[in-house]
Amino acid sequence: MTLSALIQSFFTDRLCTQMDASSHTIASYRDTFRLLLKFAGEKAGKSPMALTIEELDVEMIGFFLDDIENVRKNSARSRNTRLAPIRSFFRYVALQEPAYMFHCQKILSMPSKRYIRRNVEFLDPQEMQGLINAPDCSTWIGRRDHAILTIALQTGLRASELVKLRCCDIVLETGAHVRCEGKGRKLRATPLRRETVTVMKNWLKERRGSEHDTLFPTMRGDQMSRDALEHLVKRHIKTAAKSCPSLVGKRVSPHVLRHSTAMDLLHHGVDQAVIALWLGHESVETTQAYIHADMKLKEIALAKMSLPAQQTGRYKPDDKLLSFLENL
């Protein structure tokens, strides 16, 4: 099979049929191969359609990954994200065309690049309240934004989960909660506090949408995009900074709101395993990043440590023993 036939088969057969990959996964893989094929075509001096498997060798892949970092100025983390679809494709090629097994193995052995894992950013309770109070609730957009920010900071939903919420996903009777389909197609329900229930009741009454209508629509009634949500958060952070100076210069995205929810739960003594379930984490290890980022918890641990009542000195042998040892 030619390279073009293998790539088409990889997307249609492997990703769509066998794996039933999500639209986000397919879009990420597609963008990676668009960049790779365009780069390799320019290097080889031919169209992407004319490229062969042999030309996509470990050297070409290495040049492409260097270009991602040095020319496009992406981070090492983005570099690793681009490498993952390439590995997946060459695992598929090794199965479909065993003659290329050694060629594929060299590419599969390319390591991910190590990078500095920075502490997560989050808002403290005062900053969270300042952000919730920022929208102008005398307008329809302000009331919608107030409802979005309230739900985001109480539930810790991802940006993609927030914009996909429908009216039927909110249950406001006994056992009030919000349902969502999270990463990895995991369904989860997150309970709602009384004040959040009040806000959502008022919003649903004004929204007056059917069960399957989007919960937080745009002015045209369409589903909000992730870019629009990010712009919304930045706009209200700018407003909140006027009354909460600690927000000045702070980079806040919808994902930072998710981190803020996790840190708030952690400060209230909620177990890591419960926080992992609350946020829809695959593993409790992911939740440990919040412990590393929280200086307050470390300060509490330090305060519990006390110096011993009596300082113990080091053992000092007598002169005869020292003399014995020196003469050995």
Please identify every residue annotated as catalytic: 158, 183, 255, 258, 281, 290
Long-range contacts of 170-177 (CB under 8 A, 24+ apart): 170/200, 170/204, 170/215, 172/197, 172/200, 172/201, 172/204
* SS3 of residue 202 by DSSP: helix
Percentages (nearest 5) of helix, strand, coil residues in the chain: 60, 5, 35
- 215 contacts 165 by C-beta, under 8 angstroms: yes
**Helix (H) or strand (E) run with residue 224 in it:** none
CB atoms within 10 A of CB 13: 13
Of 143, 169, 141, the C-alpha closest to 155 is 169
Strand partners, 180: 188
Residue 212 CA: distances (Å) to CA of 23, 94, 147, 148, 180 = 20, 44, 18, 18, 13
**Helix (H) or strand (E) run with residue 170 in it:** strand 170-171
Residue 235: what are its φ and ψ, rounded to 5°?
-65, -45
For every residue of 22-91, DSSP letters joined together read: -HHHHHHHHHHHHHHHHHHHHHHTS-GGG--TTTS-HHHHHHHHHHHHHTS---HHHHHHHHHHHHHHHH
Residues with Cβ within 8 Å of 146's Cβ and at least 6 positions away in sequence, in order, are: 132, 135, 137, 199
Of 264, 286, 262, 285, the C-alpha closest to 275 is 262
Of 101, 13, 111, 100, the C-alpha closest to 61 is 111
